[in-house]
Amino acid sequence: MEKVKKPRLSDRERAGFWFILPAMIFVLLFFIIPLISVVVMSTTDFPLLGDITYVGFQNYIDMFQDTEFHQTIIQTLIYTVLVTPPLFIVGLGTALLIRRVNRLSSFFSHIFLYADSDRIRKRCFPLVLAT
């Protein structure tokens, strides 16, 4: 019998793996592991001090039967519906003011984009000189 050769990764593919490895480690440490921990903790009675007892989905059953939880969800939805559209409208309006080609566009772009850059430059420039 003839042995089947495994396809080898090219240098370019190997380099690509090494370039994405830090991002993969970041996602694992700060997203995947905490997500698994939260799911496990949500199915237990998890006191700060004392023994951990497994309660299954009882925490979720209690949460959905709680009227305060329902009120909180309603308030969150109302807030989202009332606050999100004005934020988008103001942001879009600002972008359109800056993008339009006329005398006022230069004024608005300086107001919105460059207003803080001088203060930032003055704070960061001494750090650059010190290095």
Alpha helices in 28-66 (DSSP H): 33-42, 58-65
The one-letter amino acid code at 121 reads R
Chain-centre distance for alpha carbon 114 = 26
pLDDT digits (tens, 9 = 90+) for 53-90: 999 999 999 999 999 999 999 999 999 999 999 999 98
Q: Assess whether 37 and 16 both reside in one domain.
A: yes
Q: How confident is the model at residue 95, as a pLDDT?
A: 83
Q: Assess whether 85 and 121 both reside in one domain.
A: yes
Q: How confident is the model at residue 123, as a pLDDT?
A: 61
Q: How confident is the model at residue 131, as a pLDDT?
A: 47
pLDDT surpasses 60 at 127: no
Which domain-ending residue is among 65, 89, 110? Answer: 65
Q: Assess whether 91 and 107 both reside in one domain.
A: yes
Q: Do residues 112 and 94 lie in contact, with contact meaning Cβ atoms separated by under 8 Å?
A: yes
pLDDT surpasses 70 at 129: no
